[in-house]
Structure 1
Amino acid sequence: MMVKIAEEYMDKMGIKNTPYIIVRHLDKNHPHCHIVFSRVDYNGEIIDTTTNFKRNKRVCRAITEHYGFQLGEDKLSVDPSKLRGKEKVRYQVAQNIRRAISAPDVHDWASFTAELYKYGITTEERISKNGRNNLYYHKGKYSFWSVKLHKDYSRKSIEKTIANAHPRIESTWLNPDGTVKPLSAFRGVRLTEQQQADYVAGKVVRLDGCSGPQSTVYIRFDREAMRPKTYSNNPETATHIINGNTPSLGLFNISQNPMSGEGYTNSGYDNETFQQFRASHPGMTYAEALRAWKVKKRGKHLSDPNTMDSGGPHL
């Protein structure tokens, strides 16, 4: 059967009137054969192989379907451990891209590229001479054009796939594309253009002259919580003094609806465990979180600030 199929393959490929050999291999789990032929036929003419790649694909599919064999799936199901060099990396990159797209924490392009980085993969966008935006994936010394990996691995296709897999609920704090909405004002203080830019970039912004019990507050957009958070002290400094001697971090979560009048809520509650407290305060070190949790358990946490200002995307 294998010899018959090999001969049929040669005929359909148009490789005729030339010597060839068929070598059967049984060194793998799947029996297979290799064909070696002379490009110079018996008449001394060279057999043209310029279109062999595309013809080979058509012929292999036709023979596979004719004999009822199983069609090989795409590179996403190939075991790359059996490959070497650039081909091995190519399949690894393709498979890791698929894993990154499906990762539960991936909800936009930024989180997708961050997930890829875990696999040692970076991306680069290049503008071609005709203005086309081409995406390249890099791993080690190898680079791969997205369309050569998979037809759905362009940035546009990936963003569409992510959007369909993770439908975004309309957010007070985020634009539809996942970028942070600028914050124009907070508790009576209008942010400068630079402060707005810093806030959008995820930086800590200090605001003085705020209404309410805390005249000076620090605000930063928290990507994990997908909303802004305010602090009574710079979170990058980490601690401040309560009652003169106890270090803690004054952290408040902002209500997700600035129009609701609910204002701020304390980040914890009286019977909150240390594990729960630490999970809701990812910016703290272990020691800082432990001290702050003990202070809160003694009832010395900061009281709730006033409700937020209304009107537009501001607090």
Structure 2
Amino acid sequence: MAESKQDIIRSFAMQRSGRKEIKQPVGHIPLSFSPEDKGRMTDEFMVQLAKEYMQEMEIRNTQFIIVRHDNTDNPHLHIVYNRIDNELKLISVNHDYKRNIKVCKKLKDNYNLTYGEGKEKVKREKLDNPDRVKYKICDAIKAMLPYCTTINELQSLLKQLGIETVFKLKRTTNEIEGISFGYNNIAFKGSEVDRKYSYGNLKKEFEKNLEIQQKQKEQEQKQIQEQPENKPKTDRIPSIGGIRLTPEQMTVLKEGGYIYLENMQRRDGSKLSAYVFFDDQMKQHFVTKQNPDTFVKYGKYEMRLMDKMRIEAGFVTKAKVKWWGGGQYAYPHLWKTNQSDADYQESWGDPRLLKAEKKEEKPDLSKNLKINKGKKR
């Protein structure tokens, strides 16, 4: 009964009427493939993949349609099937998420299909639950983890985003041996979100972050100690546009904030009233008539105007960016390798500290060299 759309609908409705107590008789599964495999994706091959997928997922002996969709760069199809099979038995969807992962991996391996290159390229807006929740949790952990040195700190930050952290404890010692994350009654083990987010791997990240923070504090203390003590305090407070800043204004600027100065003197003699702020190392000041806290679209993020101006000037900037529709914020480090670059680089840790660490880890080979002064051979 598939001669027309109406026939298909009537046939489906008739079979579904045999189990009126089932509230959700329709099963819907999209299968998406990598753009790299687009040349191989003929209609026949995609139908073959869809049918093998259904067999592995135990979607059998029932009505179904397979629809190819061409509205994205990824070749993909939709399987719509009747959960009431031809013998009026219900096709279960329990644990189909975990089974789906195994089946997709099996098909990719069997036909040498392309695996995705990381979670960054996944289009979140096109996901349905539970995938949408999984990626929300993954993105939140990625954003917050660089600022945490303990599991309690991470738990507290995730709680602000509505994400619950649940621990699995050892029966004998009550020590934490596993971790899960949940949102809107959907939960995943840490390793299911990403292998990097198992409890064991998270502990390693906390230890790294603690070392980075300690080194940062040591560097700050060293800089304070190296400042000349006999230098007049008035010389340490700069003036901008002929206006000497107050200690209170300097405190705001050093903390990454901004101030508003009226009647600053320009080089041409005219006056200017505007907002003023610095980069995080107080090397250069910036002036703008627009509120620096105004959010503007720049690259893939929507960030504050002051952060955009810092990045464009070539400074490493811990930017405040809108996260998940603007209700929350994240703080990645953004910078340009060259000031003229069109795109900026991104890191969830301070790249300057990471670079310093690598430099310290590099062995000094010159100490191991032996210079022999003697007879020529």
TM superposition score normalised by structure 1:
0.43
State the structure with bigger RCO (CA 8 A, min sep 6), 1 or 2: 1
TM superposition score normalised by structure 2:
0.38
Report the structure, 1 or 2, having the larger helix content.
Answer: 2
